[in-house]
Structure formats: structure tokens, C-alpha cells
Amino acid sequence: MVKVIASSVRKGNVLDVDGKLYVVLTAQNFHPGKGTPVTQVDMRRISDGVKVSERYRTTEQVERAFVEDREHTFLYEDAEGFHFMNPETYDQLVMSADDIGDQKAYLQEGMAVMLSIHEGVAIAIDLPRHVILEITETEPVVKGQTASSSYKPAVLSNGVRTSVPPHIQAGTRVVIATEDGSYVERAKD
């Protein structure tokens, strides 16, 4: 275990609070005009998935668990969970759908991801920043709309809804940000 100040905690870090491991979902530092600056940390207990919200003074010490970040390849999903393989040792790890959360919509077969591993168990996942998906349906362009300011709703091949510029049609491959599911640009392939 390593003691660090609360203001240095980031999303994806693993903290040891009272002997239990928590993965950090969000960490925000607040500096009010008066009073002590605080760090608001939302985290999920790894053992049972319970979400907890804690506030620490920014200079307070918190225990960060030793976690190894390793690149793995996503293989497939079944009733057991999501299966990943270490490309160097060919060892396989399984993560539950609850551990992966909303990010499961962007997982693609053969995708390289970073898994955070603590004592041989995968506890957190970090996807690539962008993925390429195809638009399956979108509304037709309405004449008179200005291209610069108006986006139209669209459905991606993974079922996620997003907004795209008016010139994008169904069947177009686009780059999507995995963090929030927003349109980045048309794919260059």
C-alpha cells in the first residue's frame, strides 16, 4: 500500500479504505472561497459493487492499493462474463458486466484494452479513447438547416444513440469517443 494525498487521486485508481478495495469512478477537487479545499471521490467497492461517495481534505492521506496495469485483448462475452487474454503469456481473465459498466457497449472483438489487476483479479478496465463504429440509422437532412450548429440523432452499430452532423448518413463509419459516446469525426478508412 502507498499513502498519497487525496488531491492526487484519479479515475481508475484503486484505494484501500478500512481494509476493503474501491475503484475510483470520479474524483473532483473543490476549492471554495472560504474554508478548506476538499476532494470529492465517488468509488465502487470491488467485492460487492456498492457505490460510495467520500469527501477528503485535499491534503489528507489515503491508501492506494498496488495495482498492475497490463494490456489485454478482448476475446468474447458469454454467461460467465467478458473474457480477456494477456498477449504475452496467453493467460485469460474474466470480468463481470458490473465491473465493466457502460463501457461494454464499446468493446469489440480483438480490441486492446488496459486492465488493472490486483492479486490476479481484474478490477478495472481502460478502453482506447476512440472507436470506429457504423451508423445504422439516422434522420434525413432537413433543407435549410445550418451545417455548423445543428446535429441530428443517430443510432450506432452497438445500439448506442449519439448526435452527428447533418451530412452523415446511415452506413457511414465514424469515430466515437468512448468516454462519453460523442461523435469525433468521419472514419478515414
Provide the grid cell at 107: 468493446
Q: What is the pLDDT of residues 170-189, one digit of tens each?
A: 899 999 988 888 888 988 87
- Spatial separation of the C-alpha atoms in residues 68 and 122, rounded to whole Å: 9
Whole-angstrom CA distances from 56 to 4, 27, 43, 49, 62 are 12, 11, 13, 21, 9
Residues 6+ apart with CB under 8 A from 122: 72, 84, 93, 94, 95, 99, 115, 116
Would the pLDDT of 148 be above 60?
Answer: no
- Spatial separation of the C-alpha atoms in residues 29 and 10, rounded to whole Å: 10
CA-closest candidate to residue 113, choices 77, 79, 160, 75: 75
Provide the grid cell at 131: 472507436
**Cα-atom radius of gyration of the chain, to the nearest Å?**
20
Would the pLDDT of 147 be above 60?
Answer: no
The whole-angstrom distance between residue 64's C-alpha and the CA centroid of its chain comes to 20
Q: What is the pLDDT of residues 20-71, one digit of tens each?
A: 888 888 889 998 888 889 999 998 888 777 889 999 998 889 988 888 888 9
- Spatial separation of the C-alpha atoms in residues 122 and 82, rounded to whole Å: 11
Average per-residue pLDDT for the chain: 86
Instruction: Report the pLDDT value the prediction gives residue 42, as an integer from 0 to 100.
Output: 92
